[in-house]
Protein backbone atom coordinates (compact mmCIF):
# COMPACT_ATOMS: atom_id res chain seq x y z
CA UNK A 1 0.00 0.00 0.00
CA UNK A 2 1.27 3.43 -0.90
CA UNK A 3 2.53 5.47 2.07
CA UNK A 4 0.44 8.40 0.78
CA UNK A 5 -2.65 6.74 2.32
CA UNK A 6 -1.03 5.47 5.51
CA UNK A 7 1.99 7.25 6.97
CA UNK A 8 1.40 10.40 4.89
CA UNK A 9 -2.42 10.42 4.96
CA UNK A 10 -2.39 14.02 6.22
CA UNK A 11 -0.28 15.05 3.21
CA UNK A 12 -2.81 13.39 0.90
CA UNK A 13 -5.71 15.13 2.59
CA UNK A 14 -4.12 18.57 2.41
CA UNK A 15 -2.52 18.33 -1.05
CA UNK A 16 -5.50 16.81 -2.83
CA UNK A 17 -7.72 19.78 -1.95
CA UNK A 18 -6.00 21.44 -4.92
CA UNK A 19 -5.63 18.34 -7.12
CA UNK A 20 -9.25 17.16 -7.23
CA UNK A 21 -12.28 19.43 -7.50
CA UNK A 22 -14.51 17.67 -4.96
CA UNK A 23 -17.49 19.93 -5.59
CA UNK A 24 -17.44 19.10 -9.31
CA UNK A 25 -16.99 15.38 -8.53
CA UNK A 26 -20.01 15.51 -6.24
CA UNK A 27 -22.12 17.27 -8.88
CA UNK A 28 -21.27 14.63 -11.47
CA UNK A 29 -22.05 11.65 -9.23
CA UNK A 30 -25.15 13.34 -7.80
CA UNK A 31 -26.52 13.99 -11.30
CA UNK A 32 -26.15 10.30 -12.17
CA UNK A 33 -27.55 9.06 -8.84
CA UNK A 34 -30.59 11.36 -9.11
CA UNK A 35 -31.67 9.66 -12.33
CA UNK A 36 -32.13 6.33 -10.58
CA UNK A 37 -33.35 7.94 -7.35
CA UNK A 38 -30.66 6.17 -5.25
CA UNK A 39 -30.35 7.41 -1.69
CA UNK A 40 -28.52 4.65 0.15
CA UNK A 41 -24.96 4.77 -1.12
CA UNK A 42 -21.56 3.31 -0.29
CA UNK A 43 -18.34 5.00 -1.39
CA UNK A 44 -15.45 2.55 -1.80
CA UNK A 45 -11.94 3.97 -1.40
CA UNK A 46 -13.44 7.05 0.26
CA UNK A 47 -10.02 8.12 1.58
CA UNK A 48 -10.12 11.03 4.02
CA UNK A 49 -13.84 11.51 3.31
CA UNK A 50 -13.68 14.64 1.18
CA UNK A 51 -16.95 13.86 -0.60
CA UNK A 52 -18.89 12.76 2.48
CA UNK A 53 -20.15 16.23 3.54
CA UNK A 54 -21.50 16.95 0.05
CA UNK A 55 -23.50 13.70 0.00
CA UNK A 56 -24.80 13.95 3.56
CA UNK A 57 -25.86 17.59 3.07
CA UNK A 58 -27.75 16.55 -0.08
CA UNK A 59 -29.73 14.01 1.99
CA UNK A 60 -28.00 10.76 1.04
CA UNK A 61 -27.68 7.89 3.47
CA UNK A 62 -23.90 7.75 2.93
CA UNK A 63 -21.29 5.26 4.15
CA UNK A 64 -17.59 5.52 3.30
CA UNK A 65 -15.24 2.53 3.19
CA UNK A 66 -11.47 2.42 2.86
CA UNK A 67 -8.57 0.01 3.37
CA UNK A 68 -6.34 2.64 5.03
CA UNK A 69 -7.06 3.22 8.73
CA UNK A 70 -5.11 6.48 8.68
CA UNK A 71 -7.35 7.91 5.93
CA UNK A 72 -10.46 6.77 7.83
CA UNK A 73 -9.17 8.44 11.03
CA UNK A 74 -9.10 11.81 9.23
CA UNK A 75 -12.53 11.15 7.65
CA UNK A 76 -14.10 10.29 11.04
CA UNK A 77 -12.53 13.27 12.80
CA UNK A 78 -13.82 15.72 10.17
CA UNK A 79 -17.25 14.06 9.83
CA UNK A 80 -18.12 12.65 13.27
CA UNK A 81 -21.77 11.99 12.40
CA UNK A 82 -21.03 10.06 9.20
CA UNK A 83 -20.56 6.31 8.98
CA UNK A 84 -17.09 5.16 7.84
CA UNK A 85 -15.98 1.54 7.84
CA UNK A 86 -12.74 -0.28 7.29
CA UNK A 87 -12.75 -2.76 4.39
CA UNK A 88 -11.17 -4.04 1.22
CA UNK A 89 -13.21 -3.58 -1.97
CA UNK A 90 -11.93 -6.96 -3.17
CA UNK A 91 -13.53 -8.75 -0.28
CA UNK A 92 -16.48 -6.78 1.10
CA UNK A 93 -18.08 -8.22 4.19
CA UNK A 94 -21.09 -5.97 4.78
CA UNK A 95 -24.29 -6.53 6.69
CA UNK A 96 -26.36 -4.23 4.52
CA UNK A 97 -26.91 -3.85 0.80
CA UNK A 98 -26.75 -0.57 -1.09
CA UNK A 99 -28.76 1.04 -3.88
CA UNK A 100 -25.58 2.41 -5.38
CA UNK A 101 -21.84 1.96 -4.91
CA UNK A 102 -19.61 4.78 -6.05
CA UNK A 103 -15.82 4.85 -6.47
CA UNK A 104 -14.25 8.27 -6.93
CA UNK A 105 -10.74 9.70 -7.17
CA UNK A 106 -9.74 6.71 -9.34
CA UNK A 107 -9.49 4.42 -6.30
CA UNK A 108 -10.37 1.50 -8.58
CA UNK A 109 -7.02 1.99 -10.35
CA UNK A 110 -5.41 0.25 -7.36
CA UNK A 111 -6.99 -2.95 -8.69
CA UNK A 112 -3.78 -3.62 -10.57
CA UNK A 113 -4.09 -7.35 -11.27
CA UNK A 114 -6.89 -9.08 -13.18
CA UNK A 115 -7.62 -11.05 -10.03
CA UNK A 116 -8.07 -7.78 -8.06
CA UNK A 117 -10.54 -6.56 -10.69
CA UNK A 118 -12.53 -9.82 -10.74
CA UNK A 119 -12.71 -9.99 -6.94
CA UNK A 120 -13.69 -6.34 -6.57
CA UNK A 121 -16.47 -6.45 -9.18
CA UNK A 122 -17.81 -9.73 -7.86
CA UNK A 123 -17.79 -8.40 -4.30
CA UNK A 124 -19.45 -5.14 -5.38
CA UNK A 125 -22.16 -7.07 -7.22
CA UNK A 126 -22.97 -8.98 -4.03
CA UNK A 127 -23.05 -5.80 -1.91
CA UNK A 128 -25.59 -4.14 -4.21
CA UNK A 129 -29.34 -4.41 -3.85
CA UNK A 130 -31.30 -5.85 -6.77
CA UNK A 131 -30.84 -3.64 -9.86
CA UNK A 132 -28.36 -1.52 -7.89
CA UNK A 133 -25.85 0.80 -9.56
CA UNK A 134 -22.08 0.95 -9.70
CA UNK A 135 -20.64 4.32 -10.73
CA UNK A 136 -16.86 4.53 -10.85
CA UNK A 137 -14.09 6.58 -12.37
CA UNK A 138 -10.89 5.21 -13.86
CA UNK A 139 -7.81 6.33 -15.71
CA UNK A 140 -8.40 5.93 -19.43
CA UNK A 141 -5.55 3.78 -20.87
CA UNK A 142 -5.94 5.39 -24.31
CA UNK A 143 -5.20 8.80 -22.86
CA UNK A 144 -2.53 7.79 -20.34
CA UNK A 145 -0.48 5.54 -22.63
CA UNK A 146 -0.64 7.46 -25.92
CA UNK A 147 0.72 10.55 -24.20
CA UNK A 148 2.66 9.00 -21.30
CA UNK A 149 4.07 11.60 -18.89
CA UNK A 150 7.32 10.40 -17.31
CA UNK A 151 7.74 13.46 -15.12
CA UNK A 152 5.08 15.54 -13.38
CA UNK A 153 5.22 18.37 -10.91
CA UNK A 154 2.61 19.64 -8.49
CA UNK A 155 2.77 22.38 -5.87
CA UNK A 156 0.15 23.60 -3.44
CA UNK A 157 -0.37 25.46 -0.22
CA UNK A 158 -2.52 24.43 2.73
CA UNK A 159 -2.57 26.87 5.67
CA UNK A 160 1.07 27.63 6.38
CA UNK A 161 2.34 24.43 4.70
CA UNK A 162 3.79 24.50 1.22
CA UNK A 163 3.86 21.21 -0.72
CA UNK A 164 5.89 20.20 -3.76
CA UNK A 165 5.59 16.83 -5.44
CA UNK A 166 7.86 15.53 -8.18
CA UNK A 167 6.55 12.37 -9.83
CA UNK A 168 8.60 10.01 -11.95
CA UNK A 169 6.65 7.33 -13.73
CA UNK A 170 7.61 4.30 -15.82
CA UNK A 171 5.38 2.08 -17.93
CA UNK A 172 5.48 -1.50 -16.76
CA UNK A 173 2.49 -3.11 -18.53
CA UNK A 174 3.12 -6.14 -16.35
CA UNK A 175 -0.45 -7.15 -15.66
CA UNK A 176 -2.64 -4.76 -17.60
CA UNK A 177 -2.14 -1.07 -18.39
CA UNK A 178 0.13 -0.49 -15.40
CA UNK A 179 2.87 1.93 -14.47
CA UNK A 180 5.21 2.53 -11.53
CA UNK A 181 4.84 5.85 -9.79
CA UNK A 182 7.69 7.18 -7.69
CA UNK A 183 6.99 10.46 -5.91
CA UNK A 184 9.14 12.82 -3.87
CA UNK A 185 7.20 15.08 -1.49
CA UNK A 186 8.76 18.23 -0.06
CA UNK A 187 6.90 19.90 2.78
CA UNK A 188 7.92 23.35 3.99
CA UNK A 189 6.54 24.87 7.18
CA UNK A 190 7.90 27.77 9.24
CA UNK A 191 11.20 27.69 7.36
CA UNK A 192 11.68 23.93 7.97
CA UNK A 193 11.72 21.48 5.09
CA UNK A 194 11.06 17.71 5.13
CA UNK A 195 11.29 15.27 2.25
CA UNK A 196 9.41 11.96 1.80
CA UNK A 197 9.43 9.34 -0.89
CA UNK A 198 6.73 6.97 -2.03
CA UNK A 199 6.34 4.22 -4.59
CA UNK A 200 3.27 2.53 -5.99
CA UNK A 201 1.75 0.80 -9.01
CA UNK A 202 -1.30 2.17 -10.80
CA UNK A 203 -3.47 0.81 -13.56
CA UNK A 204 -5.51 2.36 -16.35
CA UNK A 205 -8.27 0.60 -18.31
CA UNK A 206 -9.72 0.69 -21.78
CA UNK A 207 -13.50 1.02 -21.98
CA UNK A 208 -13.64 -2.28 -23.74
CA UNK A 209 -11.84 -4.22 -21.00
CA UNK A 210 -13.92 -2.60 -18.26
CA UNK A 211 -17.02 -3.55 -20.24
CA UNK A 212 -15.94 -7.18 -20.42
CA UNK A 213 -15.01 -7.39 -16.71
CA UNK A 214 -18.37 -5.85 -15.81
CA UNK A 215 -20.35 -8.28 -17.98
CA UNK A 216 -18.43 -11.24 -16.56
CA UNK A 217 -19.48 -10.10 -13.09
CA UNK A 218 -23.19 -9.65 -13.77
CA UNK A 219 -23.43 -5.97 -14.72
CA UNK A 220 -24.89 -4.28 -17.75
CA UNK A 221 -23.26 -1.06 -18.92
CA UNK A 222 -25.26 2.15 -18.91
CA UNK A 223 -23.66 5.51 -19.48
CA UNK A 224 -19.95 6.09 -20.20
CA UNK A 225 -18.66 9.60 -19.49
CA UNK A 226 -15.26 10.46 -20.98
CA UNK A 227 -13.31 13.08 -19.05
CA UNK A 228 -9.62 13.53 -19.81
CA UNK A 229 -7.74 11.56 -18.34
CA UNK A 230 -10.60 9.52 -16.92
CA UNK A 231 -13.70 7.57 -17.82
CA UNK A 232 -16.71 7.33 -15.54
CA UNK A 233 -18.69 4.14 -16.04
CA UNK A 234 -22.28 3.72 -14.92
CA UNK A 235 -23.23 0.03 -14.67
CA UNK A 236 -26.28 -1.71 -13.30
CA UNK A 237 -26.44 -5.03 -11.51
CA UNK A 238 -28.36 -7.22 -13.92
CA UNK A 239 -30.81 -9.94 -13.07
CA UNK A 240 -28.23 -12.64 -13.77
CA UNK A 241 -26.73 -13.00 -10.30
CA UNK A 242 -24.02 -15.48 -11.21
CA UNK A 243 -22.68 -15.37 -14.75
CA UNK A 244 -21.16 -18.52 -16.22
CA UNK A 245 -17.86 -16.67 -16.71
CA UNK A 246 -17.72 -15.63 -13.06
CA UNK A 247 -18.49 -19.17 -11.91
CA UNK A 248 -15.76 -20.56 -14.12
CA UNK A 249 -13.21 -18.02 -12.85
CA UNK A 250 -13.89 -18.47 -9.15
CA UNK A 251 -14.19 -22.26 -9.37
CA UNK A 252 -10.47 -22.34 -10.16
CA UNK A 253 -9.59 -20.39 -7.02
Ligand X SMILES: C[S@@+](CC[C@H](N)C(=O)[O-])C[C@H]1O[C@@H](n2cnc3c(N)ncnc32)[C@H](O)[C@@H]1O
Q: Applying CB under 6 A, which residues contact ligand X?
A: 5, 16, 20, 44-47, 50, 66-68, 71, 88-90, 104-107, 110
The number of beta carbons lying within 10 Å of the beta carbon of residue 195 is 9
The closest alpha carbon to 132, from 237, 205, 249, belongs to: 237
Q: To the nearest whole angstrom, how small is the minimum distance from the Cβ of residue 20 to ligand X?
A: 5
Smaller CB separation from ligand X, 51 or 235: 51
Give the span between the Cα atoms of 216 and 21, in whole angstroms: 33
Give the span between the Cα atoms of 209 and 102, in whole angstroms: 19
Q: Which residues of 84-115 are buried (b: 16+ CB within 10 A; e: fewer)?
A: beebebbebeeeeebbbbbbbbbbbbbbbeee
Sheet holding 161-171, edge to edge: 151-158, 161-171, 177-189, 192-204
Q: To the nearest whole angstrom, how small is the minimum distance from the Cβ of residue 116 to ligand X?
A: 7
Q: To the nearest whole angstrom, how small is the minimum distance from the Cβ of residue 89 to ligand X?
A: 4
Q: To the nearest whole angstrom, how small is the minimum distance from the Cβ of residue 50 to ligand X?
A: 5
Smaller CB separation from ligand X, 67 or 235: 67
Minimal CB distance to ligand X: which residue?
105
The Cα angle at residue 170 between residues 165 and 172, in degrees rounded to 5: 140
Smaller CB separation from ligand X, 14 or 66: 66
Q: To the nearest whole angstrom, how small is the minimum distance from the Cβ of residue 190 to ligand X?
A: 27
Smaller CB separation from ligand X, 69 or 130: 69
The number of beta carbons lying within 10 Å of the beta carbon of residue 241 is 11
Smaller CB separation from ligand X, 203 or 237: 203
Amino acid sequence: MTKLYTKYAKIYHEMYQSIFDYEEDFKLFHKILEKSNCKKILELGCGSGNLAPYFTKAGYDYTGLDIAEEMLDIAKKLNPKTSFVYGDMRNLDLRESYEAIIITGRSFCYMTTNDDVMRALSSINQALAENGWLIFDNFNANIIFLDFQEKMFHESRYGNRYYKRTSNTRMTLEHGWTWDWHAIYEVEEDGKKETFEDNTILRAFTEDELGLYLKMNGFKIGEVIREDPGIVIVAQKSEIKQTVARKQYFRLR
